[in-house]
Amino acid sequence: MHTISGRGIRSVVALLGAGLLVGLTTSCSSSSPTREYAVPSDVCGTRVARSLLEPLLPPGEKVSAQPTSSVGVKRCRILVDGKVVLSTSVEKHAANTSAGDVASSAYGVEPTDTRADGGHTIYSKTGAVRLVECPGSASAQSTVWATVRTSHDVKASSVRDFVKGYATAMGEGDACRALATQGHA
C-alpha cells in the first residue's frame, strides 16, 4: 500500500484544480453558434416585424423561404442552412371551426395547450394557431386560421407573439380575399 505525503496530496489537488480551471476557461471561451444571416422582414411575402421572427430562428449561415399553396391553404417554410426550422400556414375552414379544432390537426400545438385572446389563439413552445380577422371580406361560411410550427423549442410567449403578428398581417393583406375565393382545405 502506498501512502501519499502532505506534499504529494497538495500536488495532486493542484493538478486537479489546474485541469478544472483549463476546462472551465476552454468552455467559457469557446464560441457559441451565431446567426450569420439577416433575419427576414417577411415570411414568403407577408411582412412581419423582425423582432417577432428573430426569437424563432436558430443560429446558422444562410436563410431561405419556400412558399407553397393548394386549395384553401398557403404555406411557407423557412430554412436555415437547408433545414426547415419554421413552417407557417394560412388555412380556410368552415365558419364554426374553433381554435381547438385547428390545433387538433396542426403540428407542434395541442388543443389543451395555453389559450389566449378570448380562445382565438392556442400556443406552445413549438407551435400555435390563431384566427385571422378578415375585415370586410369575411364570409359567413368560412374562417381563416394561421398556424406556425418550429422545429425546435423556443419561448412559448415568442411563438404566441409571432402568430399574433403573422395573423394580423395576413388579415391586413390579400390572404383573406384570396382564400375566400377558394374551396375548403
Other Cβ atoms closer than 10 A to 49? 14
- In a domain, residue 68? The reply is yes
One domain for residues 90 and 24 = no
One domain for residues 129 and 168 = yes
H or E element in which residue 20 lies: helix 6-29
- In a domain, residue 171? The reply is yes
Summarised one tens digit per residue, pLDDT across range 49-77 is 999 999 999 999 999 999 998 888 999 99
Grid cell listed for 79: 430554412
| Interatomic CA distance for residues 174 and 69, integer angstroms | 14
One domain for residues 56 and 102 = yes
- In a domain, residue 73? The reply is yes
pTM of the full structure: 0.79
| Interatomic CA distance for residues 9 and 142, integer angstroms | 78
Q: Domain total for the chain?
A: 2
- In a domain, residue 185? The reply is no
Grid cell listed for 28: 467559457
One domain for residues 63 and 136 = yes
At 36 the pLDDT is 96
Average pLDDT over residues 68-89: 94
On the 0-12 / 13-18 / 19+ scale of CB atoms within 10 A, 127 is buried
Write out the residue range of the structural domain in which residue 117 sits.
42-180
- In a domain, residue 113? The reply is yes
Q: How confident is the model at residue 15 (pLDDT cuts 50, 70, 90)?
A: very low
Summarised one tens digit per residue, pLDDT across range 139-185 is 567 899 999 999 999 999 999 999 999 999 999 887 677 766 665 44
